Each structure stands twice: as C-alpha cells, then as structure tokens.
Structure 1
Amino acid sequence: MSLRLQHCYVAACDVCHVEYTDPETDAVAWFPDETSAEQALRADRWMVLARNLPERFVCPADDEAHHALVDSLMPPEPVIQLSGQLGFDGTEEPSR
C-alpha cells in the first residue's frame, strides 16, 4: 500500500463556524476543489458568496447573527425625496 498527499476542502459557516456535514451520513464533508464545495453547499441551502469576499459561506441558520451578516452585505436603501415633499426630519425639499 502506498501513501500520497491529497488536499481537500472542508466548508464552515463564517458566522457560527459550524462545519458542513453530508446530509446523508452526517459526517463532515470533504471536497476535492472549491467548485464542488460551492455546488454542494448551494444545493443544501447555504449562501455561497463571491470568492474575493472575506466571508464566503453562510449556513441556513435563522438567528440574529446570520441576519446581521446578510444585512451588512445589502446595499443601502435609496433615499428619495420629491420636490415639495416633507422629509423624515421635517425639512422640505424646495420646489423647483
């Protein structure tokens, strides 16, 4: 029997650090490359973000910490104030 070095990938949630487990065996899943890990996680309802982001994988847990990370990734809500409309702070946009 010969020995050889083989690298593998194990995915973990960047919020709660729980490792992804195979749904059929409940064992930690090992992947040969990033692409196959991303495909498996997406199929099991994990959020897989772009490879250049520091936080890449978010498990489907439904708690405040996970919601906070997802909210931080969202763009800011647009601020629209029409001419003559009162703003939330009580100011009025001048009519043009």
Structure 2
Amino acid sequence: MKKFHIAISTNRIEETIADYSSRLGIQPCSTIPGEYALWRTESLNISVRKDPDHDAGTLRHLGWEDSTALEFSEDTDVNGITWERFSEQHQAHEINDLWPGANYQP
C-alpha cells in the first residue's frame, strides 16, 4: 500500500502541530518537541519540521510511504522537487537516527 508523503518546513512548530492535528482530526504519531511531528492516516503521511535550510511554510519534499520499498530512495523531478520512497520502518529508522531519544515505533 502507498501513502502520499508531504514534508513541510515551519518555524512555528507548536502552532503547526495544533493546526494540522485539527485539520487531520488526529494527533501526530510521533513528535519531537520544538522540532518535528508526523501524522499517518490511511492515505497520507505528513511531516512538519523546523528546518533552517527551507523557509517556513515551504515544501521540503514529497514522496511515497510504500510498504513494498526495499530501501529508502530519493530522486528529483523536472521541477527540482525531491521525491522520497520509503517503508514505514525506513521512516522510523530515520526519525530515531535524527533524534535518538524519539524511540518511534510504527
């Protein structure tokens, strides 16, 4: 199964978490205080992150959470947008590598 992935940059993480939780009707499944949040619905995987390399409110990248992905991959489309493909386990591993205290378990 594939879930569309959207990653957005923010400089207002707490307000963004409250806003997106309201819009999606669920709380994030992973939160790193002051840094990051991830929501997973039946069809969507969305993350927000404080990211000094991107302006607030801009797209960080797009992609697919794909249960058949054997490894994490990334490429760039004709518009310069980065697309990732990963499994739920790949994403959990990335979260736990970036923030060792996260202990995110899908």
Quickly name the TM-score band, shorter chain normalised. under 0.3
The structure showing larger relative contact order (alpha-carbon pairs under 8 Å, at least 6 residues apart) is 2
Greater share of strand? 2
Task: Calculate the TM-score normalised by the size of structure 2.
Answer: 0.25
Find the structure with the greater CA-based Rg. Answer: 1
Task: Calculate the TM-score normalised by the size of structure 1.
Answer: 0.27
